[in-house]
Chains A and B, each alone.
Chain A
Amino acid sequence: MSNLITKYFPFFTDAEVPHTVSARPDTGLYSAKLGIWLFLASEVMLFGGLFSAYIFLRIGAEPGYWPSGLLNVPVGTMNTAILIVSSITVVMAWAALKMRQLGKYKLYMLVTIICGLIFLTVKLSYEWPAKFNHFGVFIRKDAASKYEEFLGNKHLQDAGQNPRWEISGHLLDAPKGSSYSHQAEHNAEHFAHETGRHDAVTPAENDYVIQVDAVNANPSDKENDRPHFWPVPMSTKLAVISAADVESASVFAPRHSTYFATYFLITGLHGLHVLGGILVFLYLWLPFPGGTKLYKTNPEHLANRVEIAGLFWHFVDLVWIFVFPIFYLL
């Protein structure tokens, strides 16, 4: 058993692993460098598959069913900048080790870890939860004319734009038995508290009542034809939608639309990569035998480990460079 471990998992034992520092004569590289690039090649295929699914779904979407301007652009821009800064600091951390400056390495690595944590925190404690409390109702096409004051399709047609089929905002009242009733109740209380109005809850049992987004409050306003950089505050206008006129209705979760399905899948997988990177950086930053303790015995080996982890981190940054525009901006 121990022989097997030594043979196949030498990094768990004291066995000397060849070419952690020196280059293998046949590849000209230390082995982990080749290993990480092979891994990154497989990652290109993984994200490539998801991006091609995104293209497929977006090209195939019927006019009006691919939304834009639903994500918070300033927050997304800030998170992009944070990832770029972390890419700079991780390469500086590696360079510091190469120059045998342990103190600087620790500092740069700490900044990298903090940047990664901020990115994840913003994503998980702000961006995603905001979506889970935002509600969208797709109106059946044959009933759309009844909701023209919220959809503005006549204006959009005149302007040569795609039609609008969705009314979105905060759900204040849901049809009886809806799984969103609890959320609606909570939102209605908040709405009443903010505005002093108590007309959000209707006696009808088959209606959705939505405090609509600015775009649905003034759908024929030219200002709303294109997305805004700064998020526009929600209106206090209410839309009452009969359940019979609804094609589908849900919060902005993966089930809502192909847009949100791909958004959560790709940003979720990307977030898992950020988390993985943070864990590896923590290991290399703390005094583990394979972490900063390694500096005393073999600083070059530690530098190489940081380079490998850094290559992964840059790849994660590189993926985000494409994720940010395709979901937030375009």
Chain B
Amino acid sequence: MSASPSHVPATQATSHGDHAAADQAAEAAHIAAHLGAYVKVGVGLLVLTGITVGLSYVDFGSRSMNIIVGMIVATIKASMVAAIFMHLKGEKMTIWRFLIMTCIFAMGLFFLTFFAHSDPIMGTSYSTH
């Protein structure tokens, strides 16, 4: 969508300008071409859900290996949702910058867990049920 000057009320910019109307029509055509992709991704997610369930009953040698396999499939599914349904594929750089920072902070948060695990707080019984 084209950026309009900030002093022009938004509604006027889209409903009255010929340029905006042409933009809207082009965008609608673009979206119409993508409808099939949404359904395909959705079906792909359903299939991957079945695969996740199936794989959890396959013995990969240890519980840890099963968890790793399960998390890999879940990450693939999450990426499909984020990239296609949430339009991150082709999204503006502004949003990507925020998300990169979020990823760094979230990883920091998970890393703190490992500190706590290697140096548990004395007197707590987190390790029992």
Residues of A within 8 A of B (CB): 16-25, 27-30, 33-34, 37-38, 41, 44-45, 48-49, 51-53, 55-57, 59-62, 65, 73, 77, 80-81, 84-85, 87-88, 91-92, 95, 98-100, 138, 226-227, 229, 248, 257-259, 297-298, 300-301, 310-311, 314-315, 317-318, 321-322, 324-326, 329-330
Contacts and interface: CB of A to CB of B under 8 A. Distances in A.
B39 A20 contact: no
Interface residues of B, number: 67
A52 B113 contact: yes
A48 B117 contact: no
A20 B56 contact: no
B46 A98 contact: no
Interface string B13-47: 11100000000100110011011001101100110
B70 A329 contact: yes
Contact of A85 (B9, B27, B42): B42
B14 A88 contact: no
B122 interface: no
Contacts of A85: 42, 46
Contacts of A321: 74, 77-78, 81
A8 B95 CA distance: 24
Nearest to B64: A330
B53 to A, nearest CB: 5
Contacts of A259: 129
A92 B99 contact: no
Interface in B77-121: 77-78, 81-82, 85-86, 92-95, 98-99, 101-102, 105-106, 109-110, 112-113, 116-117, 120
B38 A45 contact: no
Contacts of A80: 49
Contacts of B95: 29, 33-34, 37
A134 B48 CA distance: 31
Nearest to B82: A318
A47 B19 CA distance: 43
A281 to B, nearest CB: 15
Contacts, number: 185
B98 A314 contact: no
Given A45-B102, A87-B85, A298 B35 contact: no
**B interface majority secondary structure:** helix
Contacts of A311: 86
Contact of A45 (B3, B8, B105): B105
B81 A25 contact: no
A298 B129 contact: no
Contact of B38 (A21, A55, A88, A322): A88
A48 to B, nearest CB: 4
Nearest to B71: A325
**A interface majority secondary structure:** helix
Interface of B: 1-6, 8-11, 13-15, 24, 27-28, 31-32, 34-35, 38-39, 41-42, 45-46, 49-50, 52-53, 56-57, 59, 63, 66-67, 70-71, 73-74, 77-78, 81-82, 85-86, 92-95, 98-99, 101-102, 105-106, 109-110, 112-113, 116-117, 120, 126-129
Given A37-B98, A55-B110, A322-B74, A65 B129 contact: yes
Given A21-B14, A84-B45, A92-B35, A73 B53 contact: yes
Contacts of A84: 42, 45-46, 49
Contacts of A23: 1-4
Contacts of B32: 95, 99
A325 B92 contact: no
Given A318-B82, A321-B74, 14 more contacts: A20-B11, A25-B5, A29-B92, A29-B94, A48-B106, A48-B109, A51-B110, A77-B49, A87-B42, A258-B129, A297-B11, A317-B81, A322-B71, A322-B78
Contact of A229 (B57, B86, B92, B105): B57
Contacts of A55: 110, 113
Nearest to A66: B129
A317 B32 CA distance: 24
